Amino acid sequence: MPPTPSPHTPRAVVLLSGGLDSATTLAIAKAAGFQCFCLSIDYGQRHRAELQAAAAVAAAMGASEHRVLRLKLDDFGGSALTDNSIAIPVDGVEAGIPVTYVPARNTIMLSLALAWAEVLGSHDIFVGVNAVDYSGYPDCRPEYIEAFERMARLATRAAVEGATLNIHAPLIDLGKAEIIQRGTELGVDYRLTVSCYQADALGSACGACDSCRLRRAGFVAAGMADPTRYAA
Amino acid sequence: MPPTPSPHTPRAVVLLSGGLDSATTLAIAKAAGFQCFCLSIDYGQRHRAELQAAAAVAAAMGASEHRVLRLKLDDFGGSALTDNSIAIPVDGVEAGIPVTYVPARNTIMLSLALAWAEVLGSHDIFVGVNAVDYSGYPDCRPEYIEAFERMARLATRAAVEGATLNIHAPLIDLGKAEIIQRGTELGVDYRLTVSCYQADALGSACGACDSCRLRRAGFVAAGMADPTRYAA
């Protein structure tokens, strides 16, 4: 059981995918003294195991609450992550924006986090984007996060009433190895996390997609044993 | 049957609530030469009749497509429009942000429109916000719309590849009477639209909520007969 937070403990909404980055982000938010409300979006991603991983991570890290919101982005299609007719690339990270990019995903997720933050009376949103060892998605870049924050500061009742909304992206300048080191210091159990774009129902990783490659290289660079369960 | 659009006709995503403003916005987008893809969000609003109105308006105006995306914002609560335990005010428009404000609603809807626009290869999104005869929502202000557009221009694959995304808010500086006059010139059938925050299942309006008051005053100021069906 997590200790009961004081009513004065500030609240944060943490976007939690169930992957390595968002688990580390949750640990950072908690270490910064926030009462953490974790939000996962079931957007029709084919790697369903990440949602179970998110629940396990939220419980292990003592989150105050974990919600999964259903949003059928697969109706729009346009991404290998939501459209089963587009194959997940397994031949290495290529230049340009890959087919695993989900149109406007971070904008949508941050918007939903903003809505929940407003209802919770929270002025802080944490998101685990990073722009170093990443897949080249436009909505992971620092200038994008800054623009979202500027917009969010005009969007809400709290903003009109004088509060300042903060979008925290504490991993944005970190490499994968640094992220793993930081999370390990903060007690993240990476066995619980699922990063693979095509993880099986048990959360076992393919070892070949971009996300698996970046993750595996991170553990190697951090000089740590890789706790990932790979499919046989 | 609408004429088959040329493959060179630019596409626009139009947020269509089923109310007076968004129907007029659709007419303006069509008159500007866009092939219109209408998006309605079923966010758990208690005035369900507006979604049926949206479908009727899209069909009447020759939209290329109309989609309704389900998103359970009522899970978050925090608004009289999604939480049945909060009463809709019927005593006139008050100062400040009213309880009918839905946290981050326009941010979420514009984000979903952005996702669909990206999949459609569209660079134009139309939204019927206005900041004259309105309910005082923070996310209807011009500075908010401009900030969203700046963010959106950094958020997508198209943006990275050099396209410029435009958020069109053609009603933003118009009063309700001007909106009605403009829509009437463009052939909008306002009998199809539902504005009431607590319309009944048949779309009949209460005549007393803020939205009804603004709408009724608009027809009076425009010197036009009010075609709204009011509940007996």
* Least confident stretch, A114-123, A130-139, A176-185, B13-22: A130-139
Q: What average pLDDT does chain A have?
A: 88
Q: What is the pLDDT of residue B55?
A: 96
Which whole-number Å values give the CA distances from B107 to A107, A151, A163, in the listed order? 9, 9, 18
Give pLDDT tens digits along chain B (232 positions): 555 666 679 999 999 999 999 999 999 999 999 999 999 998 877 777 889 999 999 999 999 999 999 887 777 776 777 777 777 777 776 666 677 777 888 999 999 999 999 989 999 999 999 887 666 788 889 999 999 999 999 998 887 788 899 999 999 999 999 999 999 999 999 999 998 888 888 889 999 888 899 899 999 999 999 999 998 7
Tokens of B37: 């893809």
CB spacing of A115 vs B104 below 8 angstroms: yes
Per-residue tokens: B118: 């990206």
Residues 6+ apart with CB under 8 A from B104: A111, A112, A114, A115, A118, A155, A156, B139
Give the tens place of pLDDT for each residue, B121-134: 999 999 999 887 66
Alpha-carbon distance of B35 to B6, in angstroms, equals 9
B69, B151, B160 ranked by CB distance to A151: nearest: B151
- pLDDT-derived band at A85 (thresholds 50, 70, 90) equals confident
- Cβ contact (<8 Å) for B150 and A152? no
Which chain A residues contact residue B148 at CB under 8 A? 151, 155
Average pLDDT over residues A137-149: 92
The residue type of A184 is: T
At residue A158, the pLDDT reads 81
**Residue A99 in contact with partner chain B when CB distance is under 8 A:** no
Q: Strand pairing partners for A41?
A: A69
Give the pLDDT score at B94.
Answer: 63
What are the residues facing A125 on neighbouring strands?
A13, A167
**Within 10 Å of residue B187's Cβ, how many Cβ atoms?**
11
Best of A69, A114, A157 to disrupt the B interface (most B CBs within 10 Å) is A157
Q: Is B151 part of the contact surface with chain A (CB cutoff 8 Å)?
A: yes
Contact yes or no for B160 and A111 at CB 8 A: no
Nearest CA in chain A to B106: A155
Type of residue at B215: R
pTM metric for this prediction: 0.89
Query: For residues A149 and A152, what is the distance between their CA atoms, to the nearest angstrom?
Result: 5
The Cα–Cα gap between B58 and A60 comes to: 48
Of residues B72, B106, B115, nearest to A76 (C-beta): B115
In Å, how far are A65, A81, A133, B20, B202 from A43, measured between CA atoms? 19, 10, 24, 31, 32
What are chain A's domains?
11-222 (3.40.50.620)
ipTM above 0.85, yes or no: yes
Residues 6+ apart with CB under 8 A from B154: A138, A139, A141, A143, A144, A147
Interface of A with B in 37-96 (CB under 8 A): 67, 69-73, 75-78
Confidence of residue A152 (pLDDT cuts 50, 70, 90): very high
Nearest CA in chain A to B83: A119
A18-73 pLDDT tens trace: 999 999 999 999 999 999 999 999 887 777 788 999 999 999 999 999 999 988 77
